[in-house]
């Protein structure tokens, strides 16, 4: 008999299934299962004590036009290699949607482990909802700051830095938020990857933050060193420039690639997907924030993918997700 279980004693099997599927290094796996994993987050299907399929259902909060909505983030969705193609993930996803509804989560989100999996998750009603663009800077074009803003590495996320990051993320109309525990895990993940966090200060006030990790050198053998800035938050162009310069000098790298929110003129790159769970609640909030017709004149019976796109303002790309442990 196949059942859904949430038992901490299954952690060893779940960890091995994760290891076999995703190929993450042991340091990351150790960190993830120490600091992120909880038995209550694990949804699995098993047969006679053998786990066939597993996923993590992690709780997050979405800032949705000024209202905090509980949402679910699906991580580590995988199936044993010899059991794939038999419908186990379809069953597990159905269980996950039901569990999210039971827990009062309004939206399901995930980040496909590879570009080819966007189409895979489409079959479960997920749509591309979170995208980003790039700004690229070379070290040669950067100049040392001359204004009052100074940027430096940050080794520990203190209360003031967390408050700043939380405030800046909430300025985005639709954005996945991170609590203090999330941010600490982000710092651990970055440290494992050789990354650094940076803060910009002007006088006694924070005016910017950035989170950067080095990028492996290309197979072509180029000597160019690059860093990916997974998130950059700032008050003005001076703070942004100070952060980018500090990254180039500290890591050190020749090229800095910043993930930034999409604009009308930028080229979008898909990052995460979403599927609405509590449509009525999100429709009501969307209409209250953006007008009576904001969610469409007629939503009754609307296809879940179309409705999700409308509620997350796609393709206008207002929804934002960053700093996930992807």
List, for residues 210-219, the tens digit of each pLDDT value.
999 999 776 5
The position carrying tokens 């993918």 is 305
Would residue 126 count as lying in a domain?
Answer: yes
Would residue 169 count as lying in a domain?
Answer: yes
pTM value surpassing 0.75: yes
State how far the Cα of 127 lies from the Cα of 209, in Å rounded to an integer. 30
Tokens, residue 161: 């830095």
3-state secondary structure of 144: coil
pLDDT greater than 60 at residue 7: no
Assess whether 93 and 140 both reside in one domain.
no
pLDDT greater than 90 at residue 263: no
Assess whether 256 and 289 both reside in one domain.
no
Residue 62: give its domain's CATH number.
3.40.630.30
What does the DSSP assignment read for 273-326?
EEEES-HHHHHHHHHHHH-TTTT-S--TT--HHHHHHHHTTTTTT-EE------
Residues 189-213 pLDDT 10s: 999 999 999 999 999 999 999 999 9
Assess whether 55 and 156 both reside in one domain.
no
pLDDT greater than 90 at residue 220: no
Last residue of some domain: 215, 239, 260?
260
The confidence score (pLDDT) of residue 255 equals 95
Confidence of residue 136 (pLDDT cuts 50, 70, 90): very high
Burial of 73 from C-beta contacts in 10 A (0-12 / 13-18 / 19+): buried
The confidence score (pLDDT) of residue 315 equals 82
Confidence of residue 1 (pLDDT cuts 50, 70, 90): very low
3-state secondary structure of 56: strand
Assess whether 157 and 53 both reside in one domain.
no
What is the pLDDT of the chain when averaged over all its residues?
92
Assess whether 136 and 165 both reside in one domain.
yes
Residues 74-124 pLDDT 10s: 999 999 999 999 999 999 999 999 999 999 999 999 999 999 999 999 999
User: Strands 107-110, 67-79: parallel, antiparallel or unpaired by DSSP?
Assistant: parallel
Assess whether 126 and 136 both reside in one domain.
no
Would residue 325 count as lying in a domain?
Answer: no
Would residue 167 count as lying in a domain?
Answer: yes
Q: Is pLDDT larger for residue 48 or for residue 158?
A: 158
Would residue 326 count as lying in a domain?
Answer: no
pLDDT greater than 90 at residue 243: yes
pLDDT greater than 50 at residue 240: yes
Residues 18-49 pLDDT 10s: 999 998 999 999 999 999 999 999 999 998 88
Assess whether 125 and 139 both reside in one domain.
no
Assess whether 255 and 315 both reside in one domain.
no
Q: If you average pLDDT over each of 143-152, 168-177, 310-319, which comes out highest?
A: 168-177
Assess whether 217 and 147 both reside in one domain.
yes
If one counts every other C-beta atom within 10 angstroms of the C-beta of residue 269, the result is: 12
Structural domain containing residue 38: 3-130+269-320
Assess whether 120 and 10 both reside in one domain.
yes
Assess whether 210 and 306 both reside in one domain.
no
Cis-peptide, bond into residue 315, ω within 30° of zero: yes
The confidence score (pLDDT) of residue 185 equals 97
Last residue of some domain: 239, 260, 281?
260
Q: Tell me the helices (H) and strands (E) count for the chain, helix number first.
A: 9, 14
The confidence score (pLDDT) of residue 295 equals 57
pLDDT greater than 50 at residue 6: no
Residues 270-323 pLDDT 10s: 999 999 999 999 999 998 888 766 655 566 678 999 999 999 988 888 899 999
State how far the Cα of 145 lies from the Cα of 208, in Å rounded to an integer. 14
Last residue of some domain: 234, 260, 286?
260
């Amino acid at each position: 008999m196949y059942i859904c279980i949430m038992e901490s004693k299954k952690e060893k099997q779940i960890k091995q299934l994760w290891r076999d599927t995703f190929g993450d290094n042991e340091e990351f796996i150790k960190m993830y299962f120490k600091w992120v994993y909880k038995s209550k987050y694990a949804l699995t299907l098993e047969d006679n004590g053998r786990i066939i399929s597993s996923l993590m259902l992690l709780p997050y909060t979405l800032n949705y036009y000024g209202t905090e909505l509980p949402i679910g983030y699906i991580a580590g969705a995988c199936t044993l290699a010899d059991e794939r193609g038999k419908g186990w993930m379809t069953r597990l996803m159905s269980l996950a949607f039901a569990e999210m509804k039971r827990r009062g989560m309004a939206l399901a989100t995930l980040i496909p482990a590879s570009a080819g999996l966007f189409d895979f998750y489409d079959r479960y009603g997920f749509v591309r909802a979170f995208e980003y663009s790039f700004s690229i800077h070379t070290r040669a074009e950067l100049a040392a700051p001359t204004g009052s803003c100074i940027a430096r590495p940050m080794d520990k996320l203190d209360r003031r830095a967390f408050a700043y990051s939380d405030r800046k993320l909430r300025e985005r109309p639709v954005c996945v938020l991170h609590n203090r525990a999330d941010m600490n895990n982000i710092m651990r993940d970055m440290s494992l990857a050789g990354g650094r966090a940076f803060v910009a200060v002007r006088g006694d006030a924070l005016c910017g933050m950035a989170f950067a990790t080095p990028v492996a050198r290309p197979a072509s053998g180029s000597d160019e060193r690059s860093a990916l800035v997974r998130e950059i938050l700032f008050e003005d162009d001076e703070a942004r420039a100070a952060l980018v310069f500090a990254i180039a000098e500290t890591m050190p790298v020749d090229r800095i690639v910043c993930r930034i929110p999409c604009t009308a003129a930028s080229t979008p790159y898909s990052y995460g997907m979403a599927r609405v769970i509590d449509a009525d609640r999100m429709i009501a909030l969307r209409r209250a924030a953006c007008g009576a017709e904001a969610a469409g004149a007629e939503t009754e019976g609307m296809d879940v993918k179309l409705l999700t796109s409308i509620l997350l303002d796609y393709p206008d790309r207002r929804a934002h997700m960053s700093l996930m442990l992807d």
